[in-house]
Amino acid sequence: MKTWLLRIILMLQIFGLVSLYAYHLSVEKTGRTYLLKAEPVDPRDLLSGDYVALQYTISTLPDRFDISGFDIPTYVTLQPIGTLWEISDVNETPPNGDVPYLKGRASGRQISYGIERYYVPEGKGKQMPRDLYAEIVIQPGGTAQLKKLYSDGKPWPR
């Protein structure tokens, strides 16, 4: 009885991890992609290893918008400027219509979207190019997933 329960727990653990993997894989494969300008810094995570911490041009609230408070849910509508995407509008509610938007959390003039980390092989984060572009996928509801980084038109790190 006890052994069977432990095996059921094992199956649930495997199911949970595979489902999580499959969900994010489906988002990555099926979602529409957007290119953002990014700037890197270099820390390390105990469990997941080296990563590049990213700051986007859309991470700072433009002066024409005002959101006061800490950790406020924020919806940022995007507009294309050339090949890149920039902020078009900022609201505390999701926009209407078929426009691409990101869900973030604003603290002061900084907005975080949950795509501020890009994991790299050990030691690769030390030589970071300054011209980085991030390819992201946006899920319905505005949640973003970071897909790939590019530098000089090629995937980075090489």
Q: Residues interacting with other proteins, by CB under 8 A?
A: 2-3, 5-7, 9-10, 12-14, 16-18, 20-21, 24-25, 28, 45-51, 70-71, 112, 114-122, 145-147
Q: How far is CA 54 from the centre of its chain?
A: 9
**H helix or E strand, kind and range, residue 9:** helix 2-30
| Closer residue to other proteins in complex, CB, 18/99 | 18
Least Å distance, CB 98 to other proteins, is 25
Least Å distance, CB 29 to other proteins, is 11
Q: Bridge-partner residues for 111, per DSSP? A: 106
CB–CB of 56/38 below 8 Å?
yes
Q: How far is CA 106 from the centre of its chain?
A: 15
Alpha carbon distance 129, 72 (integer Å) = 32
Least Å distance, CB 115 to other proteins, is 6
| Closer residue to other proteins in complex, CB, 88/112 | 112
CB–CB of 63/90 below 8 Å?
no
Least Å distance, CB 20 to other proteins, is 5
| Closer residue to other proteins in complex, CB, 31/95 | 31
| Closer residue to other proteins in complex, CB, 19/60 | 19
149 three-state secondary structure: strand
